[in-house]
Amino acid sequence: MMIRSKKLFEKQFKKLPKNLQAKALQKIEIFSKTPMDKSLKNHALQGKLKGLRAFSVTGDVRIIFQEVDGYVIVLFIAIGSHSQLYE
């Protein structure tokens, strides 16, 4: 799996508290090995984000991403709380 990230994701990631950055890195590590791991709650998005997917970092924090060719390439688009990302 090749993981890339948009500048928006990188900017949002840097604004997270250090403990959330560490948790996100742990989840990204799990995701890179097993994208459908149950602890990630990987799911397809609907509405204006249809075609994208998200997985959970914590109960409220999500990473929105796009996958290509069965997870050969993954593009991280955004990271933030549920209310920040889905408004």
CATH number for the domain running over 2-85: 3.30.2310.20
pTM across the whole model: 0.94
pLDDT in tens, 6-52: 999 999 999 999 999 999 999 999 999 999 999 999 999 999 999 99
What are the residue boundaries of the structural domains of the chain, listed by start?
Answer: 2-85
Per the structure block, which two tokens stand in for 70?
A: 């069965």
In the chain, count of helices (H) and strands (E)? 3, 5
pLDDT at 87: 74
